Structure 1
């Protein structure tokens, strides 16, 4: 596995983060990895204004994973409703499957558990993403059965190519996890 340097993003990182997140999920470049959403969503994956807010607000951290100054991965971890919330998880498409994502997820769980003393981590995943849900289940997350609507009509998050998209909440207890 790659030795990564983790740091909190600043607003100076906005363009690099938007480029990374877009490359991991949208368009032909995303097809080099396994996290692509290109078959059912087009357009934006992250809105720069939303990202700026995530970077600047308390109880929120956009985590960057770098090696030799190069941005390889990122994720957003925040406090939400008494638990950690994990999102915007992106690894450069050519590096997916190399173990970088597991390190980023573990670091976000550590932040929520050790720094913020939160009992659980939650995330939302588009419920048709079976291989992605299986990835999280192998890391201790469970499907809650709680479904949330997809933000149809909000172009900040892309243009859906199908009408049956929705999110499912996944959750993992951080109480059982050890450092």
Structure 2
């Protein structure tokens, strides 16, 4: 079981590396790690389990955050309409995206960052992501809103990018051009 102790913090060199592709089919070890990442998110969103194990609630987790420099992400998040997106993906890629942008009005947080980093993080409003799930099936997702933001945040981790790298340094609360605000 992944706990908060397994999650590395900003400043750790693995968070700034470009993660390696997972050779498919994934090994049993890689499947186990990815399944545990997804289970962490589910556990962290369950108030009783989260309290018992001291888990910080999360909606996304990338393998580099547990010091595994491989292209694997887990996402467990509900969209604006209450639809659950629960995925563990190997080698996720954004294959297309909108010109329009969006951002969370509350800013973004990260399990690897133990401080508030105020500011808007511009993201694509709509994306299409391809990857391979835990069962080895190809997945092709068209995402928008909060879910699209979560996937972009996690895929950034695979490229050594932290969310605050995208915040406008001069004016953190400058609204990104052509962007839709998303309240969460």
| TM-score normalised per structure 2 | 0.28
Larger proportion of helix: 1
Higher strand share: 1
